[in-house]
A and B are shown apart, each in its own frame.
Chain A
Amino acid sequence: MKCLKVRKNLSAFLDNELSSEMHRQIELHLSECADCLHETEKLSDMIGLVGKTERPEVPPYLWESIKHRLEVIQAHPASKEASFKIPKWSFIPAGAVIFTILFYLLIGQPFLIKHKNTQIPVAVYIQEHKSVYSEQALILDSWAESVSSKTNESTDKSQSGTRMSELDVFMEAHYGGIQTNGS
């Protein structure tokens, strides 16, 4: 048996926790290897010393303290320990609330915001309704071109309001007006 394997098993060897065959092989090795024998002696000394260290003395009033605390617990069974316990069922509504909040923040919010977005771009509106009002498609195309050329010139809000007024006039003339509010 090699030294490495012997040293790996020295601890169990000293505790008599090896198979009889393994124990015999290590004994044989130790009778031939001075280094491993020296290591075994050192380990054995150390284990012996640790076992010989003084045992701490139990304080004489320990039982009295425990007894007193147990009496308090028995007298007030719903004190301390019990009062801090959270009932398991309470996790269900708590979980539902957390789930709802998370759903709103992560998934629901974009949908809800979409419905609030009452102002849609004029060009997009026209594109969407062009197929529905196919007979007016040519008229709408020509109007869209004029609006888009104006859009390139300016993007500020006041001008955007002007474009909406133009559209209102246009739609009033052709369709009796449109509603751009989503409601």
Chain B
Amino acid sequence: MDDTGLVRLCQNGDMTAFEQLFRRHQDRIYGIAYRMMNNREDAFDLTQEIFIRVYQKIGDFNFKSAFSTWLYRLALNLCTDELRKQKSRRKREISTTELGSLAEVSAIMQVDENTPEDYVISKEHEKQIWDAINSLKDKDRAVIILRDVEGLSYEEISEILKCSLGRVKSRLHEARQKLKAILETNTDLWTGGNNIEMLKGS
């Protein structure tokens, strides 16, 4: 059954249909929350909050847009609100524990096709990339996550952010240019020999 059918069932109080909607969208919603909030605890809490809000508001959904668009907009708005609240309280930074312990990395290596050296380089670069993304402003980070991480189309992004296609193009261009400038300055992605090729192959 597609989203529309499940939403209609949910509007009639069908909890099983709601669970199906959750299973279908949990990866993306948790991914957006995790990338926006930059830690697992907040992502966990916010994902709960997002789906509870969806359950409470699903009666208001009028099918004028795709359910996923409505859901992502709600998710992004809640993330942005939470970030605004947190901004004055604490600085966000990727915890090194997020990368996992050395033992965990070694365990993964044993089933990974890459050599241990390749894996660590990939992880390092991944951390560099996310450090750079997290140093962007919220609105720039949001557009990068929606397009380059979640792979949404320009049309979907324009509906989620409630702006024109032209505005999406310019916002994405600006955000990518800023990200590229940060990576060029703070990382060795383009200067450390064939690092990019190694990461591409991982």
User: Are A70 and B55 also in contact (CB < 8 A) when A46-B176, A62-B48 are?
Assistant: yes
Taking CB as reference atom, which chain B residue is nearest A61?
A: B44
11 examples of A-B residue contacts, CB within 8 angstroms: A9-B173, A15-B154, A17-B154, A46-B180, A48-B200, A49-B129, A50-B144, A50-B149, A52-B200, A62-B44, A70-B15
B183, A46: Cβ atoms closer than 8 Å: yes
In the complex, A59 has a CB within 8 A of chain B: yes
User: From residue 108 to 165 of chain A, which have CB atoms closer than 8 A to chain B?
Assistant: none
Given contacts A11-B173, A17-B169, A49-B129, contact A58 B149 (CB under 8 A): no
Interface of B: prevailing SS: helix
Contacts of A81 in B (CB 8 A): 56
Least distance between B60 CB and chain A CB atoms (Å) = 15
B149 touches A53 (CB 8 A): yes
How does the 8 Å CB contact mask read for B8-21 relative to A, with 1 for contact and 0 for none?
A: 00000001000100
- State whether the Cβ of A87 lies closer than 8 Å to any Cβ in chain B: no
- Residue from the list A48, A55, A56 in contact with B43, Cβ < 8 A: A56
A50 x B154 contact (CB < 8 A) = no
Contact stretch, chosen from B24-32, B76-84, B110-118: B24-32
Known A49-B189, A66-B22, A66-B48; judge A11-B27 contact (CB<8 A). Answer: no
Tell which of B27, B55, B126, B190 touches A54, judged by Cβ atoms closer than 8 Å. Answer: B126
| B66 close to A (CB within 8 Å) | no
**B27 A55 Cβ-Cβ under 8 A:** yes
Size range of the interface on B?
Answer: 35 or more
When A51-B148, A52-B199, A54-B126 are in contact, do A69 and B52 touch as well, CB less than 8 Å? yes
A17 to B40, CA, bound (A): 34
Cβ contact within 8 Å between B176 and A69: no
B129 contacts across to A, CB distance below 8 A: 49-50, 53
Number of A-B contacts (CB under 8 A): 94
Indicate if the CB atoms of A46 and B179 lie closer than 8 Å: yes
Report A-chain residues with C-beta under 8 Å of the C-beta of B148: 47, 50-51
Number of residues in A with C-beta < 8 Å to the partner?
A: 32
Nearest-neighbour CB distance to chain B for A36, whole angstroms, equals 14
What is the CB-to-nearest-CB distance from B152 to chain A, in angstroms, rounded to a whole number? Answer: 11
Residue numbers in B under 8 Å from A52 (CB-CB): 199-200, 202
Q: A46-B176, A52-B200 are in contact. List 12 more A-B contacts (CB 8 A).
A: A8-B173, A9-B173, A17-B154, A49-B200, A53-B149, A55-B31, A56-B43, A62-B48, A63-B23, A69-B52, A73-B52, A73-B56
Shortest beta-carbon distance, A175 to chain B, in Å? 73
A69/B199 in contact, CB under 8 A: no
CB of A12 within 8 A of chain B? yes
B contact residues around A63 at 8 Å (CB) = 19, 22-23, 26
Q: Is B72 an interface residue (CB 8 A)?
A: no
B52 to A12, Cβ gap below 8 A? no
Is B73's beta carbon under 8 Å from chain A?
no
Shortest CB–CB separation between residue A45 and chain B, in angstroms?
Answer: 5
